Amino acid sequence: MEETELPETSTDDFALQLDLQEMEQLPELYEKLREPIFSLKQTGIAPKLYVDWKKAGLAPKTEEQAWTKLSFLEYLWLKMAKELRELGLPLARVKALRDYLMNVQEIPADALTPEMIAKLREELIKSMPAKQAEALIEEYRNGQVQAAQANYGIQFSLLETLVYAALYRKQEAGILIFPTGDLVPWLDEMQGIGPEGQVLLSRTHVFLSITQHLAAFILDADKADYIPRLSLLSEEELQVVRAIRNKSFRQVTITFDEKRQITLRTTSDGMLDERMSKQLIETLALKNYQSVELENRGGSKLRFTKEHRRRI
């Protein structure tokens, strides 16, 4: 393993963009995130504790726990609830957070302020022509988007919204939990919203990272079969993770920015630096890279960037 300094280059044209193809896949992902595919055993939560959590409102009201099947959203929530309980957060506070995260997000058309519309326009034009963005905004203001959601029975919870932000917008997503009981969703981009963001961060709080829990799931080798099924990684990212786990590559180089990259090579006997292997997989899971290049033992290469998650 070696770390290399790269020459200075300009970052003026660099921008994170929401891929239009991924936007089209959101309805499918919506179903995947809600499909009951995980057993209670896979969550690491003991059956008795799960029963207690159901009574306290921390877990979904399912049938006999021996046959409990959970969606990825519920799996993710139970992992977060376990972390909060280990930190000493009372049951009532954890339940309040569950209610908050699972609450359906509905923004009526008449609630769109000029400031919200301006922010929405700014985000949309990163991934589509300005004319198309304006048409979409107009559809929302006229209530057409809400009507379509109601027609297809699609209702997004706050947790789903944050998961989408982490997966597709490559944002660090989480929840700020304040001693007063206040709860605030957090994304990386909020650091740039001005003094209000700094005021929030300066208050005493617990930060519950949703992105880190997504990364932990991807790092768990026992969950490898679920990653493509849930679309948690792009096909290119998945190829690199498999190559690292199977030790089937010759060299992997991950570029973080214009000054830093890490190269991991297998030795002649196929041995790897396990710590670095885990770090590189976590980097892919958290989208904390700019580009990746994989060279297989057969000589074939795969290179892609984070912005478009595509081969180049």
CA 237, 156, 30 angle in degrees (round to 5)? 40
Residue pair 38/70 in contact (Cβ under 8 Å)? The answer is yes
Asked if the model's pLDDT at residue 37 lies above 80, the reply is yes
Residue ranges covered by each domain of the chain: 2-11+234-311
Work out the pLDDT band at 255, boundaries 50, 70, 90. Answer: very high
Rounded CA-CA distance 58/280 in Å is 34
**265, pLDDT greater than 80:** yes
Give the pLDDT confidence score for residue 84 in this predicted structure. Answer: 95
Instruction: Reply yes or no on whether the pLDDT at 143 is more than 80.
Output: no
How high is the pLDDT of residue 17?
A: 32
Mean pLDDT of the chain: 76
Residue 310 has pLDDT above 50, yes or no: no
Percent of the chain with pLDDT over 70: 70
When comparing pLDDT for 121 and 50, which is higher? 50
Most confident region among 11-15, 132-136, 196-200, 241-245 by mean pLDDT: 241-245
Taking CA atoms, 71 is separated from 64, 180, 268, in Å, by: 16, 31, 42
Query: pLDDT higher for 133 or 290?
Result: 290
Share of the chain above pLDDT 90, in %: 21
Position 2 pLDDT exceeds 90 = no
- pLDDT of the residue at 108: 52
Tokens of 281: 């997989």
Predicted local confidence at residue 95, as pLDDT: 95
Given a cut of 80, is residue 250 above it in pLDDT?
yes
> Whole-model pTM above 0.75?
no
Q: Cα torsion at 20, 107, 190, 194 (round to 10°)? A: 130
- Which residue shows structure tokens 């997966």? 167
